[in-house]
């Protein structure tokens, strides 16, 4: 029996490639009541480990999620994957941003998963 997706099923909220500016907005909460983030996936596509910084910014203050964490390099035909899993979800207020960047280069891809909270 197939199930019908609900508004609470996680979906991709944002995806892209990190740059070297650590305060680049990766995702701004769009739901009327903010967003619930259930995971952030970081993948190094190059041959060198990278240091990645992620934070939540409320317009005045930044709150660290990952302060210059090392993500391993691509190895033996497989991309290195770093998953920040938030099973219960991390609620961020409408207008809050997830920001981030990497130390050098542009070889870290990100995917932010969750859902917009409209109630």
Q: How confident is the model at residue 47 (pLDDT cuts 50, 70, 90)?
A: confident
Rounded to an integer, what distance in angstroms lies between the CA atom of residue 10 and that of residue 28? Answer: 16
Return the bridge partners of 85, or none. 39
**85 backbone dihedrals φ, ψ, rounded to 5°:** -90, 130
E-strand stretches of 1-119: 11-17, 24-28, 35-44, 50-57, 62-71, 80-92, 97-102, 108-116
Q: Into which CATH architecture does domain 15-116 fall?
A: Sandwich (2.60)
Could you tell me the residue ranges of all domains in the chain?
15-116
Q: How confident is the model at residue 76 (pLDDT cuts 50, 70, 90)?
A: very low
In this prediction, residues 34-50 reach a mean pLDDT of 89
Question: What's the pTM?
Answer: 0.86
CA 115 to mean position of chain CA atoms: 13
For the record, the structure tokens of 94 come out as 């409408």
């Amino acid at each position: 029996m197939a199930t019908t997706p609900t508004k609470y099923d996680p979906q991709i909220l944002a995806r892209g490639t990190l740059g070297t500016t650590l305060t680049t907005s990766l995702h701004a909460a769009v739901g009327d009541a903010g967003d619930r983030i259930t995971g952030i996936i970081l993948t190094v596509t190059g041959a060198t480990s990278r240091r990645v910084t992620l934070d939540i910014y409320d317009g005045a203050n930044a709150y660290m999620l990952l302060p210059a964490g090392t993500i391993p390099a691509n190895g033996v035909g497989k991309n290195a994957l770093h998953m920040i899993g938030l099973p219960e979800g991390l609620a961020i207020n409408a207008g809050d941003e997830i920001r981030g960047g990497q130390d050098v280069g542009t070889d870290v891809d990100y995917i932010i998963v969750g859902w917009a909270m409209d109630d």
